[in-house]
Amino acid sequence: MPAPRAIYPILIVCALLLAPRAFSLAAPADESAADRRPKVGLVLSGGGARGIAHVGVIKVLEEAGVRVDYITGTSMGSIVGAMYAIGYDAATLEKLALSMDWNDILADGVSHRDMSMQEKLGDGRYAFSFPLRNGRITLPSGFIPGQKLSMELSRLTLPVHRVRDFGHFPIPFACVATDLETGKPRVFDGGFLPDVLRASMAIPSIFTPVEIDGRLYSDGGIVLNFPASVARERGIDIVIGVDVQTPLYRRDELDSLARIMEQSVYFLGELSNERERSLCDALITPDVGGFTASSFDDPRELIRRGEEAARKKLPEILALLRDVRDKAPAETVPLSQRTDRRLITGIKIRGLDRVSRSLVRGALGLKTPNMLSHEEIENAINRVYGTMFFERVDYRLEPDPPGDILVVRVKESTTDWFRVGLHYDSDQNAALLLNTTFRNIAGEGSKLSIDLNLSENPMMETSYIIQTGLRPGIGAGLIFWYSQYDVFIYQNTELVADLDYRTFGGDFMLFTTFSNPFALGAAIQKQYIKIEKKIAPPDWEGGSMDFLNYYAFMMLDTLDRVVFTRSGLFLYLEAMRIGMGSGAEEKTLYHPVYKYSAQVSTALPVHRRFTIQLGAYGGSIRGHTVYAPHLFYMGSVYSNARGVYPFMGLHYMEVSGRHMAVAYGALQLEPWREIFVSLKANAGKMTERREDLENTDDLLLGYGLSLGALSVIGPLEFTVAKGAGKDEIILHVNIGYRF
């Protein structure tokens, strides 16, 4: 479940660091030599974002020639400590800490780009999601499933995927997690490193717990946030501790949810922390005042403060280590480095129960044996996660000379979902969307979804989609729908009719499932329409019609997200044959109508805060008699499910016709995180005759300025638009996801 953005400020998440370009593996030191000198241990506390200061401390110790024989840590300290233990040097840690895309890791969830095509169609509709268990709405075990975090950890630790004993790292390592059943600390000095690190920093209620060997683990900071005793128990003679915790907040400082959650995690362990600190021979306490556990915005300053604190303590440390630092460092040998491509000899899938193996293999899209890059493997894992059938999907590499076996580990989603969407805009007014989704309810790889739109324009849709597992990748869908909405008819910008449309029917479709960004499909549709007038000429009468339609479509979608898009391409082509149904009285007089439409848009990132958006859409209808429901409509800021295309400077549905062609562009600036300013413009035509499209004399022009932001309930956007040659300025407000 995507985490609500209001939760982001309270995330005490580890500072993941991008993969290094090279590693070194310390050769085992001569035991007799090791026995002749004291062993030095480094203890790193938890502290969320404040743990970035650990990097500054390591930098100073490394520059001073301090050789560390053992590392232990908790939560954020376990992450930084593990990276140093497996071969990252201080300079690399610093570079990676400064370049890390913190917001992307914190956001978690499934990116739009990685979703299966069937899931993309419903993306950007729901603000809140709740698990359904035994027919009851419940809360999730954590707001953040940690999928992106798991993927980062797998990537970071790729060179040591084969190592199960942390004592075999260049620097022996251990970290602490909390056993949720016993409430006792568990010291991990072996296992699969990404799992262990995820467990050590799985903050209760924020991140979902981690299961290891049949037991559930959460953040080690709950019971042992500063594990100096672990180092002592391992026979370490000189313990250097780095504590980035801050004193407990006073009552007047508990002024935010972030601080309350942070206090709740750490206050129970304060007494044990005092005892653990007393076990250190040298204690470094960087001044992290002013930083919270979620303050990832200024890593450079945190590193500086870590350096500053370490330099103050350095004379004391060097005095303790007078016999240690003079020893030559151990010789190093190359660690199994991350190469551009690896030989993958086979694939194993673990954790499947209700979901078919063919679905997973189809989503992976990998052939073995084959040389695969790490990027190709990661993209394949993301595609599996994007099917939305799993709570978690990760991987490990196991040796299979001369290459590796790719082991894909999945945890199936055991819950169905109840989801809620909230929306208001100037055209459709307020709306509430309720959804229930059930997976694998009638066959492996199936999804039953029911949407209910409560608004002035009510809608209900029930869809059953199944990924058949057939090759080359075929899915099937059955959709039933009912909707009620207004159709506005203008003449010379004046509203002359407001018609109430009630339509219901169903679609049966077949579509491809072999690719996330691309889909082909065809469908047959039965459509019933009843029309009543609200505002219309006295001689106009309503009526009812039924149609039997056939259509085919092609869709390409590589967008990073559906709102405030920063990158990617979207293409949609559709051809439809519209014919009267067998029950229509006009059937013998009605000839089929052929409707063709196309949309294309792209987002080109110029800078991380600046994007150019370009697009076009067009369509053509051929046939003698075309009823109003099947015409093209333009107007307002956004398109919607009823076939209305956006056009800045026009009112909603202000222009209609048989043929249209429009081009548009926007300059999108993000001056602050998730705050957007966009300058938009469009030009185009709507005509009754196709040949009139070539005449540019009466071209429609419009432009506008938008201010937007992402919030808990979705996008917020205020737009001012004006059409060329018009005196009227159109104001438009949008709140929440559109549906």
User: For the chain, what is the mean pLDDT?
Assistant: 83
* Least trusted range by pLDDT, from 128-142, 559-573, 580-594, 652-666: 580-594
Please give the average per-residue pLDDT across 671-694, as a whole number.
Answer: 92
- Is residue 683 over pLDDT 90? yes
686 within 8 A of 659, measured Cβ to Cβ: yes
- Is residue 732 over pLDDT 90? yes
Token pair, residue 597, equals 């439409």
- Picking from 5, 3, 1, the residue whose alpha carbon sits closest to that of residue 711 is 5
Euclidean distance between the first and the last CA atom of the chain, given in angstroms as a whole number: 19
Please give the average per-residue pLDDT across 56-72, as a whole number.
Answer: 93
Backbone angles phi, psi at 572, to 5 degrees: -140, 125
Report the SS3 class of residue 40.
strand
Per-residue pLDDT, 7: 37
Report the SS3 class of residue 321.
coil
The residue with tokens 């995330």 is 11
Per-residue pLDDT, 238: 93
CA distance 92 to 19: 9
CA distance 658 to 624: 11
H/E element, 724 = none
Per-residue pLDDT, 428: 80
Could you give the percent of the chain with pLDDT greater than 90? Answer: 43
| pLDDT band at residue 270 under the 50/70/90 scheme | low
Please list the residues that pair with 347 across neighbouring strands: 406
Query: Considering the entire predicted model, what is its pTM?
Result: 0.78
Please give the average per-residue pLDDT across 419-436, as a whole number.
Answer: 91
Amino acid letter, 226? F
Backbone angles phi, psi at 415, to 5 degrees: -120, 150
Token pair, residue 131, equals 């698990």
Token pair, residue 1, equals 């479940």
Q: Which residue has the higher pLDDT, 670 or 536?
A: 670
CA distance 95 to 669: 27
- Is residue 256 over pLDDT 80? no
Per-residue pLDDT, 13: 35
CA distance 170 to 73: 16
- Is residue 600 over pLDDT 70? yes
Residue range 536-582, pLDDT digits in tens = 766 666 678 889 999 999 999 999 999 999 999 999 999 999 988 66
- Is residue 189 over pLDDT 70? yes
Residue range 333-378, pLDDT digits in tens = 334 444 568 889 999 999 988 888 888 888 888 889 999 988 889 8
Task: Quickly list H helices, 387-480.
Answer: none
Q: Which residue has the higher pLDDT, 690 or 142?
A: 690
Please give the average per-residue pLDDT across 103-123, as a whole number.
Answer: 78
Q: Which residue has the higher pLDDT, 587 or 621?
A: 621
Per-residue pLDDT, 206: 73
Per-residue pLDDT, 592: 87
| pLDDT band at residue 271 under the 50/70/90 scheme | low
Per-residue pLDDT, 11: 36
484 within 8 A of 460, measured Cβ to Cβ: no
| pLDDT band at residue 297 under the 50/70/90 scheme | confident
Per-residue pLDDT, 18: 30
Token pair, residue 298, equals 């200024």
Residue range 132-176, pLDDT digits in tens = 877 788 766 556 777 888 888 888 888 888 889 999 999 999 999
Per-residue pLDDT, 31: 45
CA atoms within 13 A on the CB side of 129: 23
Cis peptide before 369 (omega within 30 of 0): yes
CA distance 247 to 289: 9
Residue range 304-336, pLDDT digits in tens = 999 999 999 999 999 888 755 544 444 333 344
Per-residue pLDDT, 41: 94
Length of the chain: 739
CA distance 482 to 142: 36
Distance from chain centroid for Cα 605? 19
